[in-house]
């Protein structure tokens, strides 16, 4: 019995989803670490407001988030028009826009995971490093960062899994263009709307489950390995 093979259209959607999700989490990671650190360690006017803005994509309907991105980053948007005229960068209806939408939707999960790991770091260890003459940057790089690394890995994987399954914000902001913005979720939706497309939708659903589960298992293994190494040291 032969296993059903994937069509070129399905392979394109898989490759595009992996590219979009990877770019989304890697591009948002530096900002995610910075925001998580500010929320975990600093108290300032607007702290609650920043926390609310970060978590807003979790509360808003994804279509609303996508529409706001279209208003801001579309070719006529106040940010999108600037990016196009200055750098020639167009986000709306491009795969880069899909990466932006996925990054926005996964950002709250990333920040929350990293923030919890920072709050779990023993402040006495950082204080000991400072008393030995380490600068704030060296304290962060040599003490804080290694201890928070399991949370960073978990945040990356959660954001990646969210990006792989993102649909509402993406299709609103960049539409559903095969080969350009049609990710796995959009391709599954397309297959369900055409006669005889159930088989293709089922194949891509299985692929989505496999990729997401593999990412979760890999993150668990990496986090455990990093944790064991920290304990050994």
DSSP 141: I
Domain ranges in the chain are 8-232
What pLDDT score does 196 carry? 84
What pLDDT score does 1 carry? 38
Q: Is the pTM for the entire model greater than 0.85? A: yes
What pLDDT score does 51 carry? 93
Q: Which residues of the chain have pLDDT under 50?
A: 1-3
What pLDDT score does 233 carry? 57
If you write DSSP's letter for every residue of 70-93 in order, what string do you get?
Answer: HHHHSTTSTTHHHHHHHH----TT
What pLDDT score does 112 carry? 93
CATH architecture of 8-232: Orthogonal Bundle (1.10)
pLDDT digits (tens, 9 = 90+) for 39-65: 998 888 989 999 999 999 999 999 999
Q: How far apart are CA 52 and CA 33, in angstroms?
A: 17
């Amino acid at each position: 019995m032969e296993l059903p093979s994937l069509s070129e259209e399905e392979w394109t959607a898989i490759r595009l989803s992996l590219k979009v999700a990877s770019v989304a989490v890697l591009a948002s990671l530096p900002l995610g670490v910075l925001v998580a650190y500010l929320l975990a360690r600093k108290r300032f006017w607007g702290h609650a407001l920043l926390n609310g803005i970060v978590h807003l994509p979790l509360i808003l309907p994804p279509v609303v988030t996508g529409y706001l991105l279209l208003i801001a980053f579309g070719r006529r948007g106040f940010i999108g028009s600037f990016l196009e005229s200055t750098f020639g960068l167009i986000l709306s209806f491009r795969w880069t826009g899909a990466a932006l939408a996925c990054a926005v939707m996964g950002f709250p999960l990333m920040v929350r995971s990293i923030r919890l790991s920072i709050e779990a770091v023993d402040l006495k260890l950082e204080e000991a490093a400072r008393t030995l003459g380490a600068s704030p940057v060296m304290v962060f790089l040599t003490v804080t960062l290694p201890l928070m690394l399991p949370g960073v890995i978990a945040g990356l994987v959660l954001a990646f899994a969210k990006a792989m399954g993102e649909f509402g914000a993406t299709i609103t902001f960049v539409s559903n263009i095969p080969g350009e913005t049609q990710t796995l979720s959009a391709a599954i939706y397309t297959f369900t709307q055409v006669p005889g497309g159930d088989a293709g939708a089922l194949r891509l659903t299985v692929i989505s489950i496999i990729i997401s589960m593999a990412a979760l298992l890999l993150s668990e293994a990496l986090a455990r390995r990093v944790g064991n190494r920290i304990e050994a040291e």
